[in-house]
Chain A
Amino acid sequence: QVQLQESGPGLVKPSQTLSLTCTVSGGSISNSNYYWSWIRQPAGKGLEWIGRIYTSGSTNYNPSLKSRVTISVDTSKTQFSLKLSSVTAADTAVYYCARVAGDRGGDFDYWGQGTLVTVSS
């Protein structure tokens, strides 16, 4: 059973960089049938896709966040990571990592439990 687990600071100061890591277990992060995404959800609001990474390292980002987002992968550690720069209070949200079922088009078939990141001084 594939499991994903987010980790990282729960509090980030405004203008700083948010950094999160997702550790994948129970399956290979290098399987080319899948790729990996970050999604966030502000309290009481809907879901926003942040971006995705293939195990080749190729990335795609939400155009609204593209200038501030970097997603990377470390297959040796079965982890992928998110960096979001110049954060503001609007970036406060629960951040989820998810597996993308690339072999059937790209739905999110496995999710981490989510981690709350608060942007505040």
Chain B
Amino acid sequence: DIQMTQSPSTLSASVGDRVTITCRASQNINGWLAWYQQKPGKAPKLLIYRASSLESGVPSRFSGSGSGTEFTLTISSLQPDDFATYYCQQYNSYRTFGQGTKVEIK
């Protein structure tokens, strides 16, 4: 099984802040990584696929990077709509999600 570990678990930030979330895989996942945003009571929404490709319609303030076992999601300037929980997910072997990072208002 490939384990995905996100950090931090919770992040307090203000509107306009640059925010970075890290996701670490237990083995090389060859760039097969996606990031999702989830708001309470809603289904997750795809933000980034293939580690760094922005899904259509997603604001350009979201970006992804990384390779091998370490990946990051960056929000360049946090907006009010961005307060949510973010999950990484590997799809190199079956599917595994990280435990989530909650971005809350500071």
Complex Cα spacing A114 to B38, Å = 12
Complex Cα spacing A47 to B43, Å = 10
A49 surroundings in chain B (CB, below 8 A):
94-97
Give the interface segment out of B14-22, B44-52, B75-83: B44-52
Question: Out of B1, B43, B89, B99, which one reaches A113, CB within 8 Å?
Answer: B43
Q: Would you list which residues of chain B between 15 and 71 have a CB under 8 Å from chain A?
A: 32, 34, 36, 42-46, 49-50, 53, 55
Residue of B nearest to A50 (CB): B95
CB–CB A47/B50 < 8 A: no
Interface string of A107-121 (1 = CB under 8 A from B): 111011110000000
A47 surroundings in chain B (CB, below 8 A):
44, 87, 89, 97, 100
- Pick 7 A–B contacts, CB within 8 A, sort by A: A49-B94, A62-B94, A63-B1, A107-B34, A107-B49, A107-B50, A113-B42
Do most interface residues of chain A lie in helix, strand or loop, or is the interface mixed? strand
Do most interface residues of chain B lie in helix, strand or loop, or is the interface mixed? loop
Residue positions of A touching B, CB distance < 8 A: 37, 39, 46-49, 52, 60, 62-63, 96, 101, 104-109, 111-114
Q: Take A46-B97, A46-B98, A47-B97 as given contacts and tell me if A105 and B44 are in contact as well, using a CB distance cutoff of 8 Å.
A: no
B34 surroundings in chain A (CB, below 8 A):
107-108
Q: Take A96-B43, A111-B44, A113-B43 as given contacts and tell me if A105 and B97 are in contact as well, using a CB distance cutoff of 8 Å.
A: no
Shortest C-beta distance, B12 to chain A (Å), equals 19
Residue of B nearest to A112 (CB): B43
A111 surroundings in chain B (CB, below 8 A):
43-45
CB–CB A107/B43 < 8 A: no
CB–CB B49/A101 < 8 A: yes
